[in-house]
Structures are given as structure tokens and as C-alpha cells.
Amino acid sequence: MKKQTILSAIAIATIGITLSLVALSFSSRPDKTAPKMPMCHSVDEFAAFANDPNFRAAHPAPLPTEVVHGGRMVEFPVEGGANGRGFLMTSHGNTNKYLLLFHEWWGLNDYIKSETAMWCHDLGINVLAIDLYDGKLATTPEDAGKLMQANDPVRSAAIIQGAAKALGENADFRTMGWCFGGGWSLQAALLLKDKTKGCVMFYGMPEKDVERLKNLASDAIFVHAKQDQWITDQVVADFEDVMKKAGKTVTVHRYDANHAFANPSSPRYNEQSAKEARAVVKAYLAGK
């Protein structure tokens, strides 16, 4: 009886050790679906604007844009999911410099493709517009709001990392985006770490976490529409403050215009302010 008790105790102990080792092996395995960065609240905060009827009204349906010729849609592997997509324009020169563009809440439409071609021509570097909606497009504010709110930040982060990996180890990056994409321009700059050479945000939601911003490898410029009711003067001032606390540099360029003023396919397009902002951004990126 005593012998059986000892054997039972040994068996129980063995099972316990085995289970512990199994649990340890699973916990030490990389989770392929986990984000590569701690996701901030700024992405969700901006997506919440879609619930505001005034925000939707501030985004009339985009006007038709001429289809760009010369670029091409590309696909690339994304860890933990389906392939990512983007619209790529390559420079005539041999360069490893890339500008990554991030679309508005409408998705990767013809306007963004047009921007891809223009910036490739203006800067003489490669430009990739990354699709964070996996091929979905909106033509009404209601549909755009649904797409923006359905966007998965973890998936978007994986898409950005997949794109960077596909472009090669020698590639370095500048990021730029508008509205929804303005916030993602900064998040991409944080994701890409020391490969980031510059960051441009057009009226997007900034990062508010000082500790996260300490990891930003470049400076940034912020294009602010002073009439914006959502990315307000206070939001921008707070961003300047947290960037300063993080020991980083952001230069804000303010224009007496409304949200989406830089988009020529928007009825809110402000040509003079858009031209001035474009010149500022071009000068900034040309030095990167």
C-alpha cells in the first residue's frame, strides 16, 4: 500500500511537471496574430469621429479623379493573414528611398494613386501607397465611416510591417498620410523604428503617449487646418507638448482652412493653402 502511494505521488508529480513544461512551451512561442507594437488609443479615437454627423457632413463624396497610368498594384506577404496590397510607383533612378502613403477614410482610391504618381515625380524616389482596407473602397461618408470603424489596427500594423519587409533590408522610409491616414503616418513611423527618415501628418490624430513617442527615430511635420473641428488647435498644441516631453521635434504648419483642404477631389479643397502646404512638405521630404 505504501509502495502504491509513493508511485501515485511520483506519477502526479510527473504529470504536473509535464503540464508545466507544455504550458511554458506554448507561452514562449511567438503569437503570429499579436501586434508588433502596443496599440495606442489615437487610432480608435479618430475612428469614433464617424459617429458624429457633423464629421460625416464635413466629408462630402469625393469628386472623380483621373486614373493614373504608370503605377501598378502590388501584393506582399503579411504575417498571420492574407497578403497586403498597395499601389507602387518606382523612380527612374536607382534608389532605396521610399515614401509610404496612407489613404483617407475613403480607401486607396484614384486620388491616392494620383498622389503616389505626383510625389514620385516631385521627389525622385519610390512611392508606395499602402491599402489599410484590404481592397475595400467607399464613395459615401456613411460607407467610409463604416470602413474606418471596422479597420483592425493589429492587421494594419502587420500590413505596414509586411510592406516594409517586402521592400528589402536596404530600404528606408518616409511616411505621409491624410485624415485617417495622417494618424497612421505617425504610427507607421513608430513601427519602422530607425528606418524612418521623416514623417508628415495632414490633419490626423496624433499619438499622445510620451513613452511611445520616445521611440520615434525622426522629426515630424504636422499640417494643421485651423478651422478643423476635430483635430483642433488644442489637439495640435497637446501634440507639440508631448513631442517636446519625448525629446522629439515636430514642426506645425497652420493654414486658415478646413479639414481635408489639401484634397483636390474634396469639395472642401482650398487651392491656395494646399499649394503652400505641398511646397512645405516637398522641401521637408527632399532633405530626407
Residue 22's pLDDT band (boundaries 50, 70, 90)?
A: very low
| Residue 13: per-residue pLDDT | 38
Nearest partner of 196 among 171, 179, 221, judged by Cα = 171
Give the start-to-end residue ranges of the domains of the chain: 1-30, 39-286
pLDDT digits (tens, 9 = 90+) for 247-287: 999 999 999 999 999 999 888 899 999 999 999 999 999 99
pLDDT in tens, 50-79: 898 888 888 888 888 887 768 999 999 999
Grid cell digits, residue 174: 518616409
Q: How far apart are CA 69 and CA 67, in angstroms?
A: 7
Q: Round to whole Å and give the CA distance between 172 and 87.
A: 18
On the question of pLDDT at 17 being above 50, the answer is: no
Query: Can you give the pLDDT at residue 41?
Result: 67
Residue 186, pLDDT above cutoff 70: yes
d(CA 240, CA 206): 10
Decide if domain 39-286 falls under CATH 3.40.190.80. Answer: no
Check if the beta carbon of residue 120 is closer than 8 Å to that of residue 89: yes
| 268-275: long-range contacts, CB 8 A cutoff, minimum separation 24 | 268/58, 268/60, 273/225
pLDDT for res 267: 86
What are the two backbone dihedrals, phi and then psi, of residue 107, each rounded to the nearest 5 degrees?
105, -175
